[in-house]
Amino acid sequence: MQLKKDDILSRFLQVTENDPTYLRDIILNFVIAGKDTTAAALSWFIYMLCKYPAVQKKVAQEVREETKVKEITNFAEFAASINDEALEKMNYLHAAITETLRLYPSVPVVRRNYVHLQFLAARNNTNKFVTIYEFFKTETTILEQ
């Protein structure tokens, strides 16, 4: 029985027969692109845990319960206890990370080029810098700005 791997490199290898240099470049691009956004997200998450000690306690309690680790004495053993099954059960941790990303998105501003602006009183091919918060507003609110 062959196990199906779901990592990005395995998927590229299954779908295409590309030059190894091409695959290396794709994977490197993903690693580099995700480095800064991941660091920003983790920094804001740690900030939020420090700002709200009650949330920090609940997250720590949930991690201890789901990993079945009473006391962390060895980091390697603790890291080994975190598996997919345990992560799936960490609902409070997921909610805390999601709320942090909502309040402090890793990519706060994106540029969009509107080609057909039938509903806006603006020229076609208009560039607009949009904050992530605008994506969660109604269409009329975005257009009023």
Over residues 63-119, the pLDDT tens digits come to: 999 998 888 788 888 888 898 899 999 999 999 999 898 888 887 766 665 555 555
What stretches of 3-143 adopt beta strand conformation (E)?
109-114, 126-131
Predicted TM-score (pTM) above 0.85: no
- Most confidently predicted of 25-34, 36-45, 87-96, 119-128: 87-96
Q: How many angstroms from the chain centroid is the CA of residue 28?
A: 18
Distance CA 40, CA 109 (A): 14
50-to-9, 46, 68, 145 alpha-carbon distances in Å = 36, 6, 24, 35
The confidence band for 16, taking pLDDT boundaries of 50, 70 and 90, is: low
Higher-pLDDT residue of 2 and 21 is 21
Question: Which CB contacts under 8 angstroms, 24+ apart, belong to 36-41?
Answer: 36/106, 37/106, 37/107, 38/106, 40/104, 40/106, 41/97, 41/100, 41/101, 41/104, 41/106
49-to-15, 91, 103, 108 alpha-carbon distances in Å = 41, 16, 13, 21
- Tokens coding 121: 């009183």
